[in-house]
Amino acid sequence: MRYFFEEVKHAYPTKQEFADTIGVAQPTVINVLNGKRTAGLELVIKMHRRFHRSLDAIIDELPPKTEASSLHDGRRYAVSAGAASLARRTGGAKSVIR
């Protein structure tokens, strides 16, 4: 089984197609995937809803932000603290956001 972002890369050859699919601007996608920006809660939820993947799967596969701060478990995420906090509070992979 391929990882989430590898599947996305095969399904959407350009970052513009991926951005259009989840309803965000192309620079947002580029900056998050290059580690220049954190993925906010809204972006993570859009990917979760569109691709029916767990929050954990999406968050864990995001590339680290170049100046990411450590969270409680010592891991570095390229997501906002709010998105990571939501994943922890809702049980991560067990959660379903409607």
Question: pTM of whole model > 0.85?
Answer: no
Number of domains present in the structure of the chain: 1
The pLDDT of residue 74 is above 50: no
Tell me which residue range forms the domain holding 45: 4-94
- What's the maximum distance between 2 C-alpha atoms anywhere in the chain? 35
Q: Hey, what's the torsion of the CAs at 23, 25, 28, 31, to 10 degrees?
A: 130
pLDDT band of residue 18 (cuts 50, 70, 90) is very high
CATH number for the domain spanning 17: value is: 1.10.260
More confident residue, 36 or 71: 36
Question: Token pair 């767990």 is at which residue?
Answer: 54
> How far apart, in whole angstroms, are the C-alpha atoms of residue 92 and residue 65?
20
pLDDT band of residue 17 (cuts 50, 70, 90) is very high
Q: What is the DSSP string of 44-98?
A: HHHHHHHHT--HHHHHHHSPPPTTPPB-TTS-B-SB-HHHHHHHHHTTGGG----
pLDDT tens digits, one per residue of 19-70: 999 999 999 988 888 878 888 889 989 999 998 888 888 888 887 766 444 4
